[in-house]
Amino acid sequence: MTYGTDLLSNINKYIDHSVLKPYITYQEVEDHCIKALEYQFASICINPFHVKICSQILKNSTVSVCSVVGFPLGLNTIDIKIKEALQSIEDGSRELDIVWNISAFKSKDYKYVEQELKEIIKNTPNIIHKVIVETAYLSQEEKKIALDIVINAGAEYIKTSTGFADKGADLQDVLMWKELAGKKIKIKASGGIKDLKTALEFIKAGCDRIGTSSGIEIVKEVRDVLRGDSEKTY
């Protein structure tokens, strides 16, 4: 096995289990929370409306409740984003996946973008902040600028994608960020990561978290490999 049994058997700890579809029912959210507990994912990533449901189920567990902020477009005002973040924390979130203002960034209003993130982070201490920069819309040079802004803002993670753009995570972006940033910030890849092979490639490239709605399938694939029930090797 190229990756070793230690990584394979602990891959669940890299996974943010994404449950973000707009048509999901209350019962389905509860079912996903139970699955997140069973598979011991790092977190379950949900919309703010579902935070209370999840926090009640997961309150005594190691699975964090992660709420999105400004999702999926990022075009709310700073005040609205702060209020949304604070409400999510009050309801039980311990992590926030924040969509930054893509319009302001593409307009080269970098001061506004950084200030927005700083204000959100300042108002939500002791919480893990992951900033979604939506790489599908950025040039290579803009991806480098994005990295600097997110680091300067004080976020713990830079995250590739919402999963709602035409393209999700790109391995080359992660490799570039890792080379440029080193240990200055952690990286979360999301969007299009649907199987074990892809998840492992992103972790090897330097990702600390993987955002996916296919976490259960990925862990099941690991279990098959470790039991010798799969012909695949990793």
In the set 81, 143, 159, 178, the catalytic residue is 159
Residue with tokens 């990295």: 147
Query: How many structural domains comprise the chain?
Result: 1
Residue 115 identity (one-letter amino acid): Q
Q: Is residue 233 part of a domain?
A: no
CA distance 175 to 140: 12
Task: Give kind and range of the element (H or E) at residue 198.
Answer: helix 196-205
- Bridge partners, residue 96, by sequence: 67, 129
Q: Are 66 and 16 in contact (CB under 8 A)?
A: yes
Range(s) of the domain holding residue 93: 4-227
Assessment of whether the complete model's pTM goes beyond 0.85 = yes
Residue 234 lies in a domain: no
Query: Is 166 assigned a catalytic role?
Result: no
Q: 166 in a domain, yes or no?
A: yes
**Which residue among 97, 130, 178, 186 is the active-site one?**
97
CATH of the domain at 133: 3.20.20.70
Give residue for tokens 């409740």.
65
CA atoms within 13 A on the CB side of 16: 28
Cα–Cα distance, 60 to 156 (Å, whole number): 24
Identify whether 232 is part of a domain: no
224 is catalytic: no
CB 186 within 8 A of CB 223: no
Q: Which of 81, 178, 186, 188 is catalytic?
A: 188
Tens-of-pLDDT digits for all 234 residues of the chain?
A: 467 788 999 999 999 999 999 999 999 999 999 999 999 999 999 999 999 999 999 999 999 999 999 999 999 999 999 999 999 999 999 999 999 999 999 999 999 999 999 999 999 999 999 999 999 999 999 999 999 999 999 999 999 999 999 999 999 999 999 999 999 999 999 999 999 999 999 999 999 999 999 999 999 999 998 888 776 767
Position 138 in a domain: yes
183 is catalytic: no
